[in-house]
Amino acid sequence: MTAGNIVWLDYNNAPEQRLETAADTQALRDGLLDRLESVLLYLFPSGRIRGNKFYVGDIDGAPGKSLVVELDGPRRGLWKDFADDDGGDLIAAWAKSRGLSTQQDFPRIADEIRQWLGFAPPVDHGGRRDMRSIPMDELGPYTAKWDYVGLDGELIACVYRYDPPTGKEFRPWDVRARMWRAPDPRPLYSLPALMTARTVILVEGEKCADALIGAGIVATTAMNGAKAPVDKTDWSALKNKDVLIWPDRDAPGWDYAESAARACAAVGCRSVAILVPPADKPLKWDAADAVLEGFNSAAFIAQAERRVIKAAAPMVPTFTLGALLDDDSPLPEDLIEPRVLTPGGLLVFGGAPKVGKSDFLLAWLTHMAAGAAFLGMRPPRPLRVFYLQAEVQYHYLRERVKGIRLSPQHLSLARTNFMATPQLRLILDDDGLAQVIPAMVAAFNGLSPDILVIDPIRNVFDGGDAGGENDNGAMLYFLSQRVERIRQAVNPEAGVILAHHTKKLGKRQFEEDPFQALAGAGSLRGYYSSGMLLFRPDEAQSTRHLIYELRNGPAIETKFVDKMDGQWHEVDVNDRLVSKEYGERLDAERSRKRDAILQILFEEAALGRCYTANQLAESFEGKAGLGGERTIRERISALSTQGYIKFFRNSTDYGLPSIGRSKFGYLCVEGMVLNTHTGEPEPDTGELPLRPLGVLPTHYKCPQSGAAMPVENPDVWVYQEISNDPQEQE
């Protein structure tokens, strides 16, 4: 009230004050010191710990190093701001960081610190101070209590549940520190039971864990359930365990499950997966509700839909030399003899476009389904073949199979043992597998297929996020995550045949390594157990060359095959007719010249020399049997049109002179390495050391326009067999 200019304060109307004793204040200070680093990062998220000091820009928490807090020694917890010479203890830091006064606002500051530390407020009983820190008197008596014990059974902590009118609350008691707080680190619940278990169910809260434990299921939880700080929980007890996380059916439950899953994977769990709660259950439904309503929890854990965070890696089998020497058990029976396709094997069947690959494959597979030999390849019995094809429409597929020649006896077997799809228009991603796998499983009335065929790879390819089929990483993903998933789901012992395309094989590549022509060959050849190629050596003739590459057996000689009167036969290849001997000599001469030019470019680069077309023609005129300048230029033009020669214009990257007025640039061939002189001279000889640089093309000659075009992928070389050189077309 007021009288004149004097203001009178009525202390009878003042709110009741709670006085803090020195012991109360010291308890708060000790609690803050006990969790010093956590307190500082809570108050100043932008601060950083460096050595035995904590740095932040100022008391408001700005980034910087002006304010320093001591972390060790007798001055632990004391701080000083060197910008304004301010300082104090942790209580002062707490107050000033919130714009409060330690004198006028101390009750509020003490309540904040006490709440953060989990301390019970001091209780005043008629003027007497009770310092026993009774747990949360204002919440009433606790309604539940859970004990956290160590591996030796020693009590580590207790968690109390209270149910005041404002809603349930939990308070942890650190037994060792004798303080109302969670231990650091926080242990998992029911630790002793986890040690002998292989599979552990991680739930949200002690009530859910107890419910499952009562049902005979090994379960645990992190202290504080969905609010558990992942980084403050000790997950190490779950190392090498299979962990299934059963979340509450709500958004916080799923968030908790994902955070816990990442922590479990990081600590070394053998496998981690999150169970998806049934869609027909109410919001917040949990494991405790499931047990209470008589839900079949064991069946749910075993069969429920789940999100796999980390799959269990199979244990690598190992054998001693003695075990291998002493094992005289018979070898598994070949699916296709001799070792063309073995149980659990993978065969890649490749060929260039229009070589007759699908027609050959269809005849081959129907013979295997009939138990009949085909071109020297023999099945031990009629095989069940599932042919997944994505190239030929239904009506044209049936037209093709009606042209296959089989005896009536063999045809009757193949009619039921061979199962084909019409042209599929899908990708073998997760959705595609969900359609394909059930069809394969159901194809033979409960019997497993012996051979699974995909024709062609390119039409159903899924390389994940890695790229297309020419990318080795994408191809490895397709083989391991798509093809293997199909095999494991349908029949782990089935043989798999993948039909795949090759680049058009040139004579040089055919002679050196034909299987390198497969797209994604690096991953394919490291993965498959056998390979087959169908190659037409002469486009003017129908004869094909059948080539094998086996990983699990001795080499098979190549065959020449042809289709005659609707059937494939092995044929003998005789020399050309006398009337064609002159043409054969011309072919050999042109190949020799072509190989000579390519070899010269390759060898000269190794000596540190590169050439434009004019420079090469001038330098090698009349040498190596190449003829005059004009002849060499024509040959270079033909070879560049065919793709055997490309060009690079970034000469400075290789320490070469500028290309000047050259239309195309320097010549390069596949695999060319340029040795350049660089670095300091050798002390003995005074010569500069050589540095090898792989040369990649930047441009190629367009076969249609003859113009220089930028190369899209410098690592890919495609050779054209048809030449624009008039001499090649004679």
**Contact predicate 497/349, CB 8 Å:** yes
Judged by average pLDDT, the poorest of 78-82, 221-225, 393-397, 582-586 is 582-586
pLDDT of residue 380: 94
Q: What is the pLDDT of residues 7-19, one digit of tens each?
A: 343 333 333 344 4
pLDDT of residue 130: 37
Task: Give mean pLDDT, residues 708-724.
Answer: 74
Q: What is the pLDDT of residues 641-681, one digit of tens each?
A: 888 899 999 888 888 888 777 789 999 998 888 887 665 66
* E-assigned strand segments in 527-591: 530-535, 544-550, 559-564, 567-570
CA 448 from centroid of its chain's CA atoms: 30
The sign of the CA dihedral 279, 280, 286, 291 is negative
pLDDT of residue 680: 64
Three-class SS state of 26: helix
Sort strands 199-203 and 219-221 into parallel, antiparallel or unpaired: parallel
- In angstroms, rounded to a whole number, what is the distance separating the alpha carbons of residues 429 and 461? 8
Judged by average pLDDT, the poorest of 103-112, 119-128, 360-369, 718-727 is 119-128
- In angstroms, rounded to a whole number, what is the distance separating the alpha carbons of residues 109 and 413? 88
pLDDT of residue 448: 93
pLDDT of residue 525: 80
Q: Which residue pairs from 291-294 have beta carbons closer than 8 angstroms and sit at least 24 positions apart in sequence? A: 291/211, 291/212, 291/214, 291/215, 292/211
- In angstroms, rounded to a whole number, what is the distance separating the alpha carbons of residues 565 and 264? 65
- In angstroms, rounded to a whole number, what is the distance separating the alpha carbons of residues 497 and 339? 13
Q: What is the largest CA-CA distance in the chain?
A: 138
pLDDT of residue 426: 92
pLDDT of residue 14: 35
Check pLDDT > 60 for residue 352: yes
pLDDT of residue 498: 94
Check pLDDT > 80 for residue 124: no
Task: Give mean pLDDT, residues 263-289.
Answer: 93
pLDDT of residue 187: 94
How sure is the predictor about 126, in pLDDT bands with cuts at 50, 70 and 90?
very low
How sure is the predictor about 128, in pLDDT bands with cuts at 50, 70 and 90?
very low
pTM for the model = 0.44
How sure is the predictor about 683, in pLDDT bands with cuts at 50, 70 and 90?
low
pLDDT of residue 132: 33
Check pLDDT > 70 for residue 688: no
pLDDT of residue 729: 37
Task: Give mean pLDDT, residues 423-444.
Answer: 92
Check pLDDT > 90 for residue 420: yes
Check pLDDT > 90 for residue 228: no
Task: Give mean pLDDT, residues 576-601.
Answer: 56
How sure is the predictor about 682, in pLDDT bands with cuts at 50, 70 and 90?
low
Most confident of 39-48, 203-212, 350-359, 702-711: 203-212
- In angstroms, rounded to a whole number, what is the distance separating the alpha carbons of residues 324 and 555? 23
**Contact predicate 226/151, CB 8 Å:** no
Check pLDDT > 80 for residue 726: no
pLDDT of residue 678: 62
DSSP 612-681: -HHHHHHHTTTSTT--SHHHHHHHHHHHHHHTS-EEE--GGGGTPPP-TT-SS-EEE-TT-EEEEE-SSP
pLDDT of residue 10: 37
* Rounded (5°) CA angle 268-271-272: 95
- In angstroms, rounded to a whole number, what is the distance separating the alpha carbons of residues 535 and 651? 38
- In angstroms, rounded to a whole number, what is the distance separating the alpha carbons of residues 611 and 601? 8
How sure is the predictor about 416, in pLDDT bands with cuts at 50, 70 and 90?
very high
- What distances in angstroms separate CA 22 from CA 29, 89, 393, 448, one per listed residue? 10, 15, 90, 80
Mean of all residue pLDDT scores within the chain:
83
Q: Which residue has the higher pLDDT, 216 or 3?
A: 216
The number of residues making up the chain comes to 730
**Contact predicate 244/201, CB 8 Å:** yes
Q: What is the pLDDT of residues 139-186, one digit of tens each?
A: 778 888 899 999 888 889 999 888 888 888 888 988 888 888 889 899
Check pLDDT > 90 for residue 275: yes
Q: What is the pLDDT of residues 76-97, one digit of tens each?
A: 999 999 888 889 999 999 999 8
Three-class SS state of 128: strand
Most confident of 382-396, 498-512, 526-540: 382-396
The sign of the CA dihedral 457, 463, 469, 475 is negative
